[in-house]
Each structure stands twice: as structure tokens, then as C-alpha cells.
Structure 1
Amino acid sequence: MNLKKLLYLLIILFSISCSKDDETPLPTPKTFSDLVITTIQPTLESNNLSFNTGGNLSFIDYYIESGVCYNKTGNPTINDNLAYANSSPSQNYFINVSNIEFGATYYVKAYAKNTSTGEVKYGSQLSVVIPSSITTSIVKNISVSGFSVDVNVASNLSSNEERGICYSTSQNPTVFNSSYSDSTNGAGNFTISLDGGILSPNYYVSSNTTYYLKSYVKINSTYYYGNQVSFKTPGFIGGSGGYVFFDKGETTNGWRYLEASTVKLNDPSSNNFKWAVSDGFMSNISQEIGTGLENSVQIKSTNNFTNVAAAMSVYLANNNVNDWFLPSIKELKELYKLKSIGLIGSPASGTNSYYNKNVLSSSQLNSTTCYGINFDDGSQVLLAKTSQLYSGWQVRRF
């Protein structure tokens, strides 16, 4: 073999050897089933108005949509609340979730969706607790026309430009339902009191109706809401067949509700009543709600006669119940609202109708004068204690 042929053969063998050494297999294409998703632990922003979370994808592709789903009940899916990642695919993505509810626990999962097939994969579930930065207390002093509620706003929300309450007959009310703002802003406690009054009353609520209420603050034109509470307005039948006309909102000192008889106080021997048989000022007689029973017992102790309204209210059983009394003036004002909404009528009747339209309270002004309500128009009146011209109305508490 000549040298030229030998050189040619060596070149061919070297080429074949190099070709085999350079051969490496191409990678197998990854499919959606290979994708691994990791949820990033949600963390609160410093003002507790939002939380940060996100996800990590083991690889990206143009057909993969990614984001975060969340809810307040657990095991969220893309059918719940969604927060999307950036429109351009990214293996690590971060999302801020706002418009959250204070006091709630949010459950979060990262997700990826195959936009070609619709298949969805999820990361593990993680959670974050939102502190109660707005605390709505129970609703109190509930009448057929209004109520009051206390609210506390935490210091992290002190930058609010408005704070108040909203309520509705449906759950989860917003400021677009009935709402009332406080006259101040900032952090701390505030109280909203809506009292309809009795002279041409403005009824903030309807009687015998369940309402749902939330407090709120407004920061940078965004509303943030506190916990939801509920209450039922008076106007329903109480335990003794009368109408409930006041609800403290909670049981204290052994009672919560005030209930009125459906008809005025009557006795066969005395249809009209006086406050006392003789003039004189009684100490420890109050005008406040919750004091009518004590007033009546004190009046009866020295005026135990059938023509004295407080004595007969305590003495006379009604619907087989014997814990009735004559209301204080503030209790009587709330009772009158039952007449305004048509649940009870005026007591005026007979030859003394001009006078017995006035209903006695168990409260006094001085030694000769007591307080009452004109049931024709709801006005407060001053009445002579010893004139036997007026009506009485039994109430009880339970």
C-alpha cells in the first residue's frame, strides 16, 4: 500500500471515530404532567391591608398560565378568587392580594393552567391570618327606629379619611347599602347612634327585621371592612303575648328585652289613673331605660291603690304573667313607636278622651308633676301627679 492510500484510510477512520464521540441524545420535551408547582408563603404587608404571595414553576412554556387562587374556607381552586401572575411566563412570580377582610383567614394555592387542554395543577395550600384591625361590637339599644354600635379602629389604619358603618337586610353589606360615617377619623373608638325619635321619626330601620352590619374605613379611596354582626329589630311578639319594643342587645342585670301589652291598662273600678294619691317628691325615681320596674315598686310601696297607675301595673296580671310595671319616661318614648308603626292604638276614649290620650310614665319632674306622652302625636307632656285623668300602659322586661 503506498503512502497516499494509507493517509487517506487514516483520515476516514479518524472521521468515523470523531463522529461517534460527538453523538449525544437530544433532551426529551417536558410535558405539563412533569410540571412541579410551589406556593410561596403568604406574608402580610406592614399596614395589614394586603398580603404578598406567589408561586414557583419547575419550568415555563408559552402554553402555561400561572397565578394564585385563594378563599376563606379552604382548598381554593380557580373557581374562587384569582390573582394572576405577569402576562409573560416566569418561573418565580409574586402577587399582592388586596381588598381583604380583617379578622379572616385566607387559604392560598399557586396554580398553573394548560391553556391548550384546560388542565390545572396546584401547589400546596398555605394560609395567612388577617388581624382584626377594625372591630365591630354587638349592636345595642335597638328600637323599631334605630340602634347604636361601638367600633374600634386599630392604629395601623389611622391614616383613614373616613370611618363609619354600613348595614343591609342581606349579608356582607357595603357602603353602597345604608351607611353612616362618624364625624371624626383616625384610630381609636367611635360610636354610631341612630335614634329615630318619636316626633315625626326618621326610621333608620324597619320593625321585626334582621339586619347585617359592618364597620369600615376609607383609605386612599378604598374601603376596608371589619367583621359582620347581625341584629333583629323589635316589633315582634314577646314571651307574654305583647310586642317587644326595645332590645339592649345583650342580657345584663337579668334582662335584655322590653315588652309592651297590646292594650292600655284597664281595671273594672278605675279606667283612668293618677301618678300618686298625694303630692310629694320621691327620691331614687329615674327617667332612664331599665328603671321602670324599680320606679313602679317604689311608687306602689306608698300608693298601693287601684287608681294609681304604677300600683295597678305591678298588681294586675296580664296574659297570666304578673311581672309588669309602669315604664319610665324614656321607656315610654320607645313604647310609643309601636303606635307610630300601627301595632298599638291610642288609649283615648270616652268622656275623658282629651285627657286619657296622655299615658303616664313612672318618672317625675318635681313634687307635683310627672312625665307622660301624648299618644295622639308622641309629644312629651307634664301632668299633675294627683289628677285621675290619665292612662297607663303595662310593660315588662325579660
Structure 2
Amino acid sequence: MKKIFLILALVITTVSLAQTPEKMSYQAIVRNTDGNLLSEKTVGMQISVLKSTSSGTAIYIETHSVTTNVNGLVTLEIGMGSVVTGDFSVINWGDDKYFIKTETDLEGASNYTISGTSQLLSVPYAFHAKTAGNLKNYKIGDFAHGGVVFWVDETGQHGLVCSKENQSTSVKWFAGTFGKTLAKGNGLYAGKTNNTIIIMSTYAVVGDNGDSYAARLCNELVVSENNNQFGDWYLPSEYELSLMYQNKAEINTTSTANGGENLINDVYWSSTEDSDNTALGFNFSDGQESSILKSFQNRVRAIRSF
């Protein structure tokens, strides 16, 4: 009987913050020893929130029984499992460092044989806001949350920021092969899901071949600001790029004032796939989108939500 295992080394970094409080989304890929995707198989998972260090005290533990999809992908929401100990809703995310530990039983029970731990590189803002005494309202052009604010919601407390720097002046969209990734999202926060899908699909098809590509550059970006680290960056959707274009002047002014650089009047990659072979690019010289071969080299500017 073939042994089966969970791919954790790369995709564990794709833990992403949900827009509603009380939960976070997590995804991973499962393969067998031949490298084939483990499709439509139920696995058992235990999720622990560790405090202070990667071997720190588990202040919250929950379990899940989840089934991989046809591509070997498992998806779950941390905070929505069967609680073993602790209360996810009362965690004070602003008072320490936190780590997510995952343990997996590949036969679907609770004999966990595979584990991995990853630090949350930015404070979950929606969670921390519940314990903050005074909430600040943000506006377009503010330098906050690791970058430059270019969109805010009606409360002024949540929105999107872009990096103060370009992550690349010339990089391809894919990592060595054409093919459908299903990264079709195009709207507010859609880039976050797209980025995860691109990383997962690429890893499933070609593994970690060391190639640089647009979504990977964003996924691996870590920005330090005022003793905080922000690591949940992603490649914007085409719509999110259009919002950046509308506020290009404010972004450029704030970026350069804080040691960054301007958005260039050139094409930037979006995370929105157009076909098996093409993805949407956005031209910051005239505000026009276009469908471009994934092997072409374009610019990248990462964003994150707060």
C-alpha cells in the first residue's frame, strides 16, 4: 500500500486572514509517494494556536475532518472546527507572537503523524480591533499597515494597502508551464484568493522549482514597520489594480516620502486569469487592461488587506 503525505513546506505560508472575525482560512495539498495528487480523500486535521514561540503553549486547539478535492486540495476555516480546548474568540492577538500548528492523520482519524508550524506574520486586524481601545480611521494616502492605503470601506477602519515598492520590474505570471489555475476572481479582496490558488496550482504541477513568478513574489514578501511584521501580501486582482490606478498620485507621493518608489507608467500583472495561457495585465499609463501570455515579463506591486 502506498504511503501518503501532506505537502506543507510551501503552502503552509498561505494561511490567510478572513474578512469576518472569528475565523481564518487555511489550505494545503496532499500527494502520494509517486507524486500524484490524493484526490477526494478524507483526512483528519488538528489545528493549534501557539503563543510566543513555535514550541509555545497551545492556547487553542480544534479538530477537523476534511476531504481533498479532485486536485488534492484541502480547505478549512480555523475557528470553526470541533473545539478541544480554549476559546478562539477571546485570543488577544495584539499582545504577543502567535503560531499556527497543523497535525494531520492521512487516514481520516486522529492518529496525527504529520505536523508543521508557521508564524502569523501580521496581527489579524479584525481580531485585534475587538480589543483595541481606540480605533483609528484611515484615508487614502495614509502610510499604515505596512504600505500605502489606496482604498477604505465606509467605516474608515478596513481597506487595502499597496507596498511602497515594486516587487519586480520584469517577471512572468506562471512558473514554467501553461495551464488553467481557476484564479478567475476579480473584485475587492479577490486577489487574495487568486494568489493562493496560483501558488497551490503551481506547486501541484511543477513543485518548488525555484522559479520566480508574480504570485510567489507577493506571497514571500515580508514588510517590517514600527516593530510589526506584515507577511500576508498578495497579487492584486485586475479590479484592485484599477483602484490603485485611480489613486496613483497619492500612492506615489506617500511611497516616495517613506523611502519607496513610484508606480511606473507600464503594465503590472494582476492575479486574474483570463485563459489557460493568458492573464490580465493593467497599464498604469492609460488605465487599460489587456490579456497577456503568462510567459511575458511584467511589473508587480503587492497589496494586503487590513
Q: Which interval holds the TM-score relative to the shorter structure?
A: 0.3 to 0.5
Q: Kindly indicate whether structure 1 or structure 2 has the higher relative contact order, using CA contacts under 8 Å at least 6 residues apart.
A: 2
Larger radius of gyration: 1
> Could you state the TM-score of these two structures normalised by the residue count of structure 2?
0.45
> Could you state the TM-score of these two structures normalised by the residue count of structure 1?
0.35
